[in-house]
Amino acid sequence: MEMLLPIGWTKAPGYAHGVAASGKLVFVSGQVGWDEKHCFTAADLAGQVRTALENVVIVVAAAGGRPEHIARMTWFVTDKSDYIRLRAEIGQAYRMVMGKHYPAMSVVQVAALVEDEALVEIEATAVVPV
């Protein structure tokens, strides 16, 4: 996997501007902060981010991949100001699950998620070497 940094661009803080990769594509549907029995494990945004990321990694592992094979993620949050205010805690949760791997990412505020308790939903695409 090659992280792309166009000539003259400043390195992105906490994500890649783009990623080039080849291998088996793995598409992970939106994951929220609940466990395998659909029980939420945290009521706060940082806690739900950690669990949602763990769920993404578990799905990627089912295809033989690891966190560093994740090429892109889209995060849907219900409160942008919460996301910004809790950036340090979210960053810590991110690094606990993903290490120092920063794929292409977008964060979008949405009015609501289907699961009423969900504060974040994360979908991902991974490219697992073959």
Asked whether the predicted pLDDT for residue 13 surpasses 90, the reply is no
Q: What is the mean pLDDT of residues 20-49?
A: 96
Tell me, letter by letter, the H, E, C secondary structure of the chain: CEEECCCCCCCCCCCECEEECCCEEEEEEEECCECCCCCECCCCHHHHHHHHHHHHHHHHHHCCCCHHHEEEEEEEECCHHHHHHCHHHHHHHHHHHHCCCCCEEEEEECCCCCCCCCCEEEEEEEEECC
Q: What is the pLDDT of residues 83-99, one digit of tens each?
A: 999 999 999 999 999 99
- Residue 83 is assigned to a structural domain of this protein: yes
- Residue 114 is assigned to a structural domain of this protein: yes
Domain of 119, in residue numbers: 25-128
Q: What is the pLDDT of residue 127?
A: 97
Q: Residue 59 to residues 7, 27, 31, 44: CA-CA distances in angstroms?
A: 34, 9, 10, 23
Q: What is the pLDDT of residue 29?
A: 97
Domain count along the chain = 1
- Residue 9 is assigned to a structural domain of this protein: no
Which residues, including other chains, have CB under 8 Å from residue 88's CB and lie 6 or more apart? none
Q: What is the pLDDT of residues 37-85, one digit of tens each?
A: 999 999 999 999 999 999 999 999 999 999 999 999 999 999 999 999 9
Q: What is the pLDDT of residue 114?
A: 97
- Residue 40 is assigned to a structural domain of this protein: yes
- Residue 17 is assigned to a structural domain of this protein: no
Average pLDDT, the chain: 96
Q: What is the CATH number of the domain that holds 108?
A: 3.30.1330.40
- Residue 46 is assigned to a structural domain of this protein: yes
Q: What is the pLDDT of residue 1?
A: 87
Distance separating alpha carbons of residues 124 and 31, to the nearest angstrom: 9
- Residue 39 is assigned to a structural domain of this protein: yes
pTM attached to this predicted model:
0.94
- Residue 42 is assigned to a structural domain of this protein: yes
Q: What is the mean pLDDT of residues 8-27?
A: 94
